[in-house]
Chains A and B, each alone.
Chain A
Amino acid sequence: GEDVEQSLFLSVREGDSSVINCTYTDSSSTYLYWYKQEPGAGLQLLTYIFSNMDMKQDQRLTVLLNKKDKHLSLRIADTQTGDSAIYFCAESIESGGYNKLIFGAGTRLAVHP
């Protein structure tokens, strides 16, 4: 079945690194994504990783993928108060000729001084 799981809450101090973890079930997923949602807003694509990659770095963001364990993580270096938001992990499933996204429940990141 299709299922994506994330821890629901993470609290970090400003300046520290944040690591948000995600597990997924469908081994045929071609892409995995991280989206950010601020209160009352839509989803902003942060980054994505192709399933044949182990790591992707983009400025303060580092994505690690362990395909064997179906584990995805997002590391935010030097976390700032503006990073406070909900972070959604999503896997891409091919269905009927298009790619359907299956989202986790979201991890609420709280950054405190």
Chain B
Amino acid sequence: GAVVSQHPSRVICKSGTSVKIECRSLDFQATTMFWYRQFPKKSLMLMATSNEGSKATYEQGVEKDKFLINHASLTLSTLTVTSAHPEDSSFYICSASLLPGQGARNIQYFGAGTRLSVL
């Protein structure tokens, strides 16, 4: 149980285009989903927290107009990298936590990640 699917696993795009990454909780409902960015051989940096039906909360230094997050349902959150540039190339990972009452609310289950390469 508690499977998180992230799609696509890899994307290569031209500079200036927008890329959408999907994060789905397959067998549970997630009140909260998180988006992280991981640089090579570095730790995960939290970019934003999204709650179903409300605006995402962005961490300091993360441009909300650059990284658009939508959490339209309890099983789907999307991250759109707008007008991507080479410096946006990175590994993006999402996670989801369970609804209250469904288990340990503090546990985050992670997707497999999306490697974005901007040419």
Contact = CB atoms under 8 A, between A and B. Distances in A.
21 contacts: A30-B106, A31-B106, A40-B113, A42-B110, A43-B44, A45-B108, A45-B110, A48-B104, A92-B106, A96-B49, A98-B49, A98-B51, A98-B97, A99-B97, A100-B34, A100-B46, A101-B34, A101-B44, A101-B46, A101-B95, A105-B43
B119 interface: no
A34 interface: no
Contacts of A41: 112-113
Chain B, interface size: which category?
A: 20 to 34
Interface of B: 4, 6, 32, 34, 42-44, 46, 49, 51, 57, 93, 95, 97, 104-113, 115
Interface of A: 30-31, 35, 40-45, 48, 88, 92, 96, 98-101, 103-106
A27 B32 CA distance: 24
B6 A42 contact: yes
Contacts of A43: 44, 93, 95, 110
A35 B6 CA distance: 18
